[in-house]
Amino acid sequence: MTERLTQDLVIIGSGIAGLRAAIEASRVSPTLRIGVVTKVQAMRSHSVSAEGGTAAVLYPELGDSFESHIFDTVKGSDYLADQDAVERFVRAMPSEIYQLDHWGLPWSRRVDGRIAQRDFGGYSYPRATFAEDKVGFHEMQTLYDTCTRFPNITFYQEWFVTSLLVEQGKFCGITAIEMKTGAFVAIAAKAGIIATGGAGRLFSFATYGYSSTPDGMTMALKAGVPLKDMEFFQFHPTGLVPSGILITEGARAEGGILLNRDGERFMKRYAPAKLELASRDVVSRAMMTEIEANRGFVDEKGRPYLNLDLTVIGAEKIKERLGGIREISMKFRGIDPVEKPLPVKPVCHYTMGGIDVDIDGATSIGGLWAAGEAACVSINGANRLGANSTAECLVWGKITGEAAARHALDRTDGSPSDEQISREEKHIFDEVFHGKGGTNPYQVRDELQSTMDKNAFVFRTGERLAEAVRVVRRLKSEDFLHCDDSSRRYNTNLTNVLEVESMLLAAEAFLVGALARTESRGAHARRDFPNRDDANWLKHTLAFNTPDGVKLGYSPVKITRYQPAERTY
């Protein structure tokens, strides 16, 4: 029998965006019942892995400006960002940095005691605010600690959300599996926020934790909300080989350089002004070009890489500013970056696309918002600048938390129907838990990831994308919806299968959009269409779920002050 719970506001996800939303909702009204539902323990949300910085204009008197941050972000997006959203974001960020400071975040400091900032790729001023190289951890710790001061916030940790409950176009709650007991639970709510992060585990070589699957995105898609710009995935230049663990952009900001097999600092040929601190799509394409031209290295298992040399920074600065990176390098690669270069190559790092929302983070479903990497506002367009992601989580965490709280206070109607809940329970337990399929779901996941790595990585072609679409649609039709583990308690086999189902739907949205977009823009690099085509493609892709598969639509880009121009670094 389905257990029933009630909250005023339910937040799905406990990363930076979800925690910031919970705090802001509580500040609106301490009487609101707020539930934060997360499939991991809250402090294991992938936001803790952010390393290098959070962007904000803190020192206009020293040369920075809102206009500069806005333009850098729009240019970095390859002019696909909505410029009204970018301006709102940039103007809101400084107060978020100071708010975290007041809540106790230990920002790194300049010699004069003021908050320190470092340079990041694509910026014209060093505005990445940092706490050594553990920014995400410190932001999460600060936000989680602040949440504990509000008695009206309840955490449902290790609860796997399976669906959104929507009645007549209005959000009414969620269904979830309590992992500890295996109980199926319906939580009725007057408002909801999806803050479940990105979809980077569609690739096997990724900086994402294994829990970073697109569950929240595909729940929205199944409920009728389109996904926007899913073809734009960011590949960070420096993933540690072979693990894919992120080596922060802060390593290059502090002076690290990229070298090919000939010992050449090759970025001078691709971005002579910014070198290693060009935008991430530019650096990643340059690195893959070097590797494909046989100017890279190959390890003992045939894996290609280039060298990231941090020895030029000096031992003391590495220990002071990049202590976490040094620890990671020694623990996972057996290399001390004080003494030797690190083997790196581009790695899947960020989902620029996501749930289609307006400038307030609202979806097309009444009472439902989305924030952070799960959402597409869009401030990132075709390519995100480093340090804007944690910042976006803070800004739209606050915006959606306040909006959802006020909506919940005003709403008096709405409760989920028994029919919806029963239908979802039947899918979970009759079709999956007791399913008898003959295809191994883990093999499906592995084939999906290898297909994405091969056909949709840094460089793409129509032929390869079409092949990937065929593979994904075939995998969707396989009978993998079954569970071999018969236990109800902590049945990760069951949740893994549900994640694979979600991954396939998100991959189809990605690939169909990428195949249709016959241009190169930002992180979407088509070798058969190498140029940007503003006449035909200065528009957002919208992916809709239909009984016949993913279908596409489009929406205009909001341009307020900066007309598209050639990007050079």
Q: Are 372 and 398 in contact (CB under 8 A)?
A: no
pLDDT at residue number 319: 92
Under a CB-based contact definition with an 8 Å cutoff, are residues 482 and 441 in contact?
A: yes
DSSP letters spanning 513-550: HHHH--S-BTTBEESSS-S--HHHH-EEEEEEEETTEE
Q: From 218, 252, 105, select the one nearest 476 (Cα to Cα).
A: 218
Across 282-295, average pLDDT: 96
CA distance 192 to 32: 13
- DSSP one-letter code for 385: P
Which residues, at least 6 apart from 310, have a Cβ–Cβ distance to it below 8 Å? 251, 254, 255, 256, 318, 322, 325, 337, 338, 341, 342
Task: For residue 279, give the CATH number of its domain.
Answer: 3.90.700.10
What are 98-120's pLDDT values in tens digits?
999 999 999 999 999 999 999 99
- The domain in which residue 278 lies consists of 236-347
For residues 383 and 462, membership in a common domain is answered with no
**Which pLDDT does position 346 carry in this prediction?**
97
pLDDT, mean of residues 325-338: 95
For the stretch 446-457, pLDDT in tens is 999 999 999 999
Q: Is the pLDDT of residue 121 over 90?
A: no
For strand 375-376 and strand 354-356, is the pairing parallel, antiparallel, or unpaired? parallel
CATH of the domain at 223: 3.50.50.60
Token digits for 569? 């670094």
Do residues 26 and 32 touch, judged by C-beta distance below 8 A? Answer: yes
Q: Is the dihedral of CA 105, 106, 111, 112 positive or negative?
A: positive
Question: Which domain CATH number covers 490?
Answer: 1.20.58.100
Q: What are the residue numbers of the active site?
A: 236, 252
Question: Can the peptide bond before residue 378 be classed as cis, meaning omega within 30 degrees of 0?
Answer: yes
Q: Write out the H or E segment, with its range, that includes residue 236.
A: strand 233-240
Whose tokens are 């799509």? That residue is 281
Q: What's the pTM value of the predicted model, to 2 decimals?
A: 0.96
The answer to whether position 170 is within a domain reads yes
Per-residue pLDDT band for 1 (boundaries 50, 70, 90) equals low
Report in angstroms the alpha-carbon separations of 140 from 105, 112, 135, 394. Answer: 9, 26, 9, 11
Say yes or no to pLDDT of 414 above 90. no
Could you tell me if 92 and 203 lie in one domain?
yes
Same domain, yes or no: 283 and 369: no
Residue 455 has which token pair?
């056909």
Residue ending a domain, choose from 415, 434, 467: 415
